[in-house]
Amino acid sequence: MRIRIAAALLAPMALAAGLGQHADSAQAQPAWPTRAVTVVVPYPPGGNTDVMTRVVMEKVADRLGQPIVVENRPGAGGIVGSAHVSKAPADGYTWLVAIPGFALNQSLYKQLPFNPADLQPASLMTRTSLVLVTSNELPARDFGQLLAYGKKAAPPLNFGSSGSGSLAFILSQRFLNATGIDEAMHVPYKGSADAVADLISGRIGFMFDAVSAMGPHITSGKMNAMAVTGANRSPALPNTPTVKELGYPTLESYAWAGLLAPTGTPDAIIKRMAAEVSAAARQQDVVARLESLSSEAVGSTPDEFAKFLADEVAIGKDIITRTGVPLL
């Protein structure tokens, strides 16, 4: 009987001790955030990435109870801002917005001024479907006609992008490989605006770009939409089929934006930010605002974004290696 009584007496004591240990552990974990958080967009203000980041971060700031300062640090295709965040303290107060260029640059440059391993994934924030558009000068009015023409065209089809190694270039190469169009000529531009002008005039045959950028030209009849690269049809182009509908599911692709932190940032902080981004992505006003930009809010766990990012790096490396793009 004494043994049973002693055990009964010891149980609450052990429980109290355990609670004390948990309390000490909780106290050892610093509260976050206790001040403003900085989110670096490594591109100029006013662009789609900047606008979408501000839409999402406004809601995240409300949920965190602290201001979020969106800071633009453009330069070298996102490298300047990425390098800055990679060297920031791993305390949860500095974050980076990465887009496809972050993944592609890892294979496009002989040596980057920062180590990509010094940045760790937190959450995929948004994604935007692209659209394959063609010049009205081509004798093709749908995807099938484009493939038939592209396989026998003489001289071969030409296509535009904002440079070798850009998302539009990578996707164009994937399109050519998947459809069996053996020969095409790449025409690089300094920016998509010049490429669009040449597409409209007929100097180039096709290109990929964001639905939000191409939509007005398509609806005005200045170019033709062949396919969208997202999993679902775009509300802005309801009559344009997806690549999956056309039999090419491997061409599903997006212009995406995700959040990274300096490596070593506490897991609890990474998971908290990912959870708040995901919660913000479910709010109807955020969904509606991004839909107006032909984009969608995503939100993901750190592990999900890490896998997604690794796949993007691998796809870019494969295309850049096989096409012999000169390294920078």
Residue 33 preceded by cis peptide, ω within 30: yes
Does residue 42 register a pLDDT over 60? yes
Q: Based on the fold, state whether residues 136 and 247 are members of the same structural domain.
A: yes
Q: Based on the fold, state whether residues 60 and 108 are members of the same structural domain.
A: yes
Residue-level pLDDT at 190: 84
Q: Average pLDDT of 310-325?
A: 91
pLDDT in tens, 78-105: 999 999 999 999 999 999 999 999 999 9
Helices (H), the chain: 2-28, 48-64, 79-86, 100-108, 143-152, 167-179, 192-201, 211-219, 267-281, 284-291, 302-323
Element housing 42 (H / E): none
Structure tokens at 325: 């793009």
Question: Which of 221, 251, 281 represents a domain boundary (last residue)?
Answer: 251
Residue 155 preceded by cis peptide, ω within 30: yes
45: amino acid identity, one letter: P
pLDDT in tens, 170-220: 999 999 999 999 999 999 998 888 999 999 999 999 999 999 889 999 999
Q: Based on the fold, state whether residues 119 and 260 are members of the same structural domain.
A: yes
Does residue 26 register a pLDDT over 70? no
CA torsion angle for 225, 293, 305, 112 (degrees, to 10)?
80
Domain that holds residue 202: 129-251
pTM: 0.84
Does residue 5 register a pLDDT over 60? no
How far is it, in rounded angstroms, from Cα 111 to Cα 108?
A: 9
Question: Which of 191, 217, 251 represents a domain boundary (last residue)?
Answer: 251
